[in-house]
Amino acid sequence: MKRILLPAGGAILATGLLAAGLAGTAQAAGDVASDPLAKTAAQAAETLDFWTKSNNAALKQAVAFNPDSLEVEKISRGGGYSADTKPGSSVPIGEEKKVAVKSQNVNLPRTIGKVFFEGRDGKLYYCSGTSVQSQYRNLVATAGHCVYDIAGNDEVVSRWVFVPGYYQGKTPYGLYVGKQAFTHYDFDVYEDFDRDYAFATVYNGIGGTLNSSKQVNKAEYDAYQGEKYTKDVAISQADYLKCKDLNGGETSDCWAKVTKIEDLAGPDHPDSVKVLKEVTKEQYDAAPTGNVNGGKSPWISTEQVTESQYKAYTGPGYRKIDEKGNFTITHYRLRYWVKKSAKVEYFRTEFFVVGHAVKDVGRLGDNVGGQGVAWNQAAGKVVRTFGYPYGPNPDGSKPYTGVTPKWCYGKTASKVVKIPARKVEEQQSLKCAVTAGYDGGPWLANYSNAKRLGYVTGVTSLIVDVDGNKRYDTITSPIFDGETAAIYKAAAASWSGKLIP
Identify which has the larger pLDDT, 110 or 55.
Answer: 110
Which tens digits make up the pLDDT trace of 300-319?
999 999 999 999 999 999 99
Check pLDDT > 80 for residue 392. Answer: yes
Q: Name the strand (E) or helix (H) holding 186.
A: helix 185-190
pTM confidence score:
0.68
Residue 501 is predicted with a pLDDT of: 75
Which tens digits make up the pLDDT trace of 205-214?
998 766 667 8
Neighbour tally for 164: CB within 10 Å: 25
In this prediction, residues 41-48 reach a mean pLDDT of 87
Q: Is 366 exposed, middle or buried (0-12, 13-18, 19+ CB in 10 A)?
A: middle
Spell out the domains of the chain, with CATH numbers in brackets: 3-204+363-492 (2.40.10.120), 213-347 (no CATH)
Identify which has the larger pLDDT, 180 or 422.
Answer: 180
Distance in angstroms (rounded) separating the CA atoms of residues 453 and 370: 8
Q: Would you state the torsion angle of the CA atoms of residues 386, 489, 138, 22, taken in this order, to the nearest 10 degrees? A: -130
